[in-house]
Structure 1
Amino acid sequence: MLAAQRELAHALEMLAQAIGGFAHEGLGGNDRNGGGARAPVEPYSYQDFLKTHPPTFTPTTEPLDVKHWLRILEQKFLLLTVTKELKEFITTFCEYYIPVGLLNWKLTEFLNLKQGSMTMMDYVNKFNHLALYAGIHVDTDEKKRDHFYHGLSCILQKELYTRGYQTFGALMNATIAMEGLQCDSQVEWKRKWVITRSSSHPQAQKV
């Protein structure tokens, strides 16, 4: 809890520094009148920024969440027609909350991803999530399809090998359908087993 509060305080400090830059730039860097003779311009303040209803930052270990927050915040910055301080803020913020080591760790996790004991839907969801960090490893549909295939269980790979699915979407949908059929088959087998067992061991008649 304390660590999260310290991270939030650090984020707010960086934001305050950026907004301090707005005030400096607002004194002479931007013309709110859109051209012509420059009238005296009031500096941008923290209250100006709050009027844009910026999103609240929640410390997280998920880089995609940080990037999403930054994209929204960037739109708020642009409402104040400030670009110079925005770039400096994003660079500093990313260095602190999206370190290269974490991105590399996500990439390694993707490259080593195997279905293992995961259900197909769990595997699909984790694959699609980590693929967002994979860059050139999934920049074509063929690469994405092949990575997905090689992460499947050996049994599924064997069943799918000769079917020749040409796209990632087709392969993914096929694996989900196959698991559904397997589950239905197991349920039906258990149902028949219970019926057979019951008929083989009838209850003793009450006297």
Structure 2
Amino acid sequence: MNGISEFMRLAPRYFKDSTSADDAESWLESAEKVFTAMRCNRDEDKVDFVAYMLEGRALHWWKEIKRKYEHHQGPFTWAMFRTEFLTKYFPRSTLYKMQRDFSKLVQGNMTVEEYEVEFDKLVRHVPSMVPDEDTKRDKFEHGLAMYIQKGIAGSNAPETYDELVDRGNKLEAVHAEARELT
């Protein structure tokens, strides 16, 4: 591994600060993608590389974390960095809000596609609320508009989440066409 020059060649994103948990998580995932491409396995290198990409308030946060651990025995690991970073930029209060949002999520005025995007975003953050494919499919179905739920109930039940989403999109399109004709 050629170190920081190879890391920079793969164009990782800088992180200044964010009030969006999604932005923070996306930044962390993009850094991990670069590590995979580099075949970077050493925790110390990972921490050094991402620390180099911190700017502004995020850099000040990192300096505080380094001070907090200055007497820590052993290296500051990637797992430790992830934990501290997610604690700062993806706090429990955000997770609790996402759990509440997920439990109340229904299609409402969204299209099936928009509902799916929001549903998938929340599922990614609250996987414990959908422990298996059946639970995920059922939760999504019960949040669909009533006319779509009725259309699904009147046919063979979709076996997968993706089939359910596809069926929901088709029923929505048929419903829209029927409204245009009247």
Q: What is the TM-score with the length of structure 2 in the denominator?
A: 0.66
Local SS of the residue matching 1:52: helix
Q: Does 1:119 align with 2:111?
A: yes
Q: CA–CA distance in 1 between the matches of 2:17 and 2:109?
A: 31
Q: Does 1:169 align with 2:162?
A: yes
Local SS of the residue matching 2:7: coil
Percent identical among aligned pairs is 24
Per-residue deviation at 1:124?
A: 1.7
In structure 2, relative to structure 1, the CA distance for the partners of 1:159 and 1:73 (3 Å cut) is closer
Query: Structure 1: which 5+ runs fail to align?
Result: 1-31, 33-47, 190-207
**Other-structure match for 2:69:** none
Q: CA–CA distance in 2 between the matches of 1:80 and 1:49?
A: 14
Q: Does 1:101 align with 2:93?
A: yes
Deviates more, 1:72-81 or 1:106-115: 72-81
Q: Does 1:81 align with 2:42?
A: yes
Per-residue deviation at 1:87?
A: 3.5
Q: Does 1:55 align with 2:55?
A: no
Per-residue deviation at 1:51?
A: 6.2
Aligned-partner residue type, residue 176 of structure 1: N
Q: What is the TM-score with the length of structure 1 in the denominator?
A: 0.59
Per-residue deviation at 1:147?
A: 0.3
Deviates more, 1:107-116 or 1:53-62: 53-62
Per-residue deviation at 1:119?
A: 1.9
Greater Rg by CA: 1
Aligned-partner residue type, residue 81 of structure 1: R
| Alignment check: 8 A CA contact 1:52 1:79 kept | no
Local SS of the residue matching 1:96: helix
**Other-structure match for 2:148:** 156
Local SS of the residue matching 2:154: helix
Query: Structure 2: which 5+ runs fail to align?
Result: 45-74
| Alignment check: 8 A CA contact 2:148 2:172 kept | no
More contact order relative to length (CA 8 Å, sep ≥ 6): 2
- 1:101-122 per-residue CA deviation (whole Å, 9 max, x = no partner) reads 1012112111110111222221
